[in-house]
């Protein structure tokens, strides 16, 4: 049997239960982050900006990593999905991703986010949301159904951002083993 919901009918004009369609609409949805912050496809000329932003975040020089990732994004992939956000006339954030059409015996288009970074001077301004939002729009047009990434368990800020963005732990278990010169796994 269906449960009935009690509906309150206002007795007078202006009561809280009354909906006034003559007033301006409640601003449920403001401009999306991707509408306020310009993003574009990453280009070769952006390499130094990526390295600089990453160095400001991590305190390390990962130039070789970014050279490799940029070459992969621009020359080894059929679909370019990596993005750069700009503000105040220059790059302030990036998201490097790729599309895979299957791995480990699964045939399903999946995007993998390799790296995301926002210049510390531009944090909490919607840069990361704009990049992720635009990436998801682009992936939808490519009919990609899932996005995955790996995060350091101790990177609380990134974990919180991804959680807030709708990411959740996957059903896959990532395994790792040190390569320590032992040719055979233990029995």
- Residue 161, pLDDT above cutoff 60: yes
- pLDDT the model gives residue 177: 73
Q: Which two tokens stand for residue 3?
A: 């449960």
CATH number of the CATH domain containing 104: 3.40.630.30
Judge whether 55 lies within some domain: yes
Judge whether 175 lies within some domain: no
Domain span at residue 158 reads: 33-164
Confidence of residue 76 (pLDDT cuts 50, 70, 90): confident
pTM here is 0.72
Judge whether 130 lies within some domain: yes
Judge whether 129 lies within some domain: yes
Domain count, the chain: 1
Judge whether 183 lies within some domain: no
Strand extents, DSSP E, the chain: 39-41, 83-87, 90-100, 110-118, 146-149
Judge whether 137 lies within some domain: yes
Judge whether 187 lies within some domain: no
Q: Which two tokens stand for residue 88?
A: 């105040």
């Amino acid at each position: 049997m269906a449960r009935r919901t009690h509906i309150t009918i206002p007795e007078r004009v202006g009561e809280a239960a009354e909906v006034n369609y003559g007033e301006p609409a409640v601003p449920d949805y403001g401009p999306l982050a991707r509408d306020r912050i310009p993003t574009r496809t990453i280009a070769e000329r952006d390499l130094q900006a990526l390295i600089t932003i990453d160095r400001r975040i991590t305190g390390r020089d990962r130039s070789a990593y970014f050279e490799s990732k940029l070459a992969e994004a621009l020359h080894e992939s059929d679909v370019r999905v990596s993005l750069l956000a700009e503000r105040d006339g220059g790059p302030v954030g990036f998201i490097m991703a790729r599309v895979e059409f299957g791995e480990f015996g699964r045939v399903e288009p999946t995007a993998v986010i390799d790296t995301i970074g926002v210049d510390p001077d531009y944090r909490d301004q919607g840069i990361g949301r704009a990049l992720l939002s635009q990436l998801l729009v682009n992936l939808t047009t490519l009919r990609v159904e899932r996005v995955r990434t790996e995060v350091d368990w101790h990177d609380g800020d990134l974990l919180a951002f991804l959680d807030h963005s709708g990411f959740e732990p996957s059903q896959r278990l990532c395994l790792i083993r040190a390569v320590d010169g032992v040719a055979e796994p233990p029995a």
